[in-house]
Amino acid sequence: MKIVVILAHPKKGSFNHAIANMVVETLEGVGHEVIYHDLYEESFDPILRSAEIPKGACVDDVISNHCNEIANADGIIIVHPNWWGQPPALLKGWIDRVIRPGVTYEFEENDSGEGVPIGLLKAKAAIVFNTSNTYHEREMNVFGDPLETIWKNCIFGLCGVNNFYRKMYGVIVTSTIEERKSWLDDVKETVIRYFPKEG
Ligand SMILES: Cc1cc2nc3c(=O)[nH]c(=O)nc-3n(C[C@H](O)[C@H](O)[C@H](O)COP(=O)(O)O)c2cc1C
Of residues 84 and 198, which shows the higher confidence score? 84
Give the whole-angstrom CA distance, residue 133 versus residue 113. Answer: 37
Any idea where the domains of the chain sit in the sequence?
2-194
Q: Is residue 177 predicted with pLDDT exceeding 80?
A: yes
- Choice from 11, 78, 83, 172 to test ligand 1 binding pocket (greatest atom count within 8 A of CB): 83
Sequence letter at residue 114: E
pLDDT attached to residue 93:
98
Is the N-terminal amide bond of 79 cis, ω within 30° of 0? no
Element (H, E) at 193: helix 177-194
Sign of CA dihedral 152, 33, 124, 187: negative
> Is 56 buried (19+), middle (13-18) or exposed (0-12) by CB count in 10 A?
exposed
Q: Is residue 147 predicted with pLDDT exceeding 80?
A: yes
Ligand 1 pocket member 172 (CB < 6 A):
yes
Let me know if domain 2-194 sits in CATH 3.10.110.10. Answer: no
Q: What is the mean pLDDT of residues 90-112?
A: 95
| pLDDT tens-place string over residues 14-48 | 999 999 999 999 999 999 999 999 999 999 999 99
Give the whole-angstrom CA distance, residue 23 versus residue 35. Answer: 11
Give the whole-angstrom CA distance, residue 187 versus residue 198. Answer: 18
Q: What is the mean pLDDT of residues 153-164?
A: 98
Q: Are 174 and 131 in contact (CB under 8 A)?
A: no
Ligand 1 pocket member 26 (CB < 6 A):
no
Interval between CA 123 and ligand 1 midpoint (Å): 29
Ligand 1 pocket member 133 (CB < 6 A):
yes
Q: What is the mean pLDDT of residues 103-117?
A: 92
**Residue 196: which pLDDT band, with cuts at 50, 70 and 90?**
very high
pLDDT attached to residue 143:
98
Mean predicted lDDT score pLDDT of the chain: 97
Interval between CA 112 and ligand 1 midpoint (Å): 38
Q: Is residue 199 predicted with pLDDT exceeding 90?
A: no
pLDDT attached to residue 36:
98
pLDDT attached to residue 198:
85
Protein residue with least CA distance to atom 4, ligand 1: 83
Ligand 1 pocket member 93 (CB < 6 A):
no
pLDDT attached to residue 109:
87
Q: Is residue 84 predicted with pLDDT exceeding 90?
A: yes
Percent of the chain, pLDDT > 70? 100
- Tell me the three state secondary structure of residue 157: helix
Ligand 1 pocket member 104 (CB < 6 A):
no
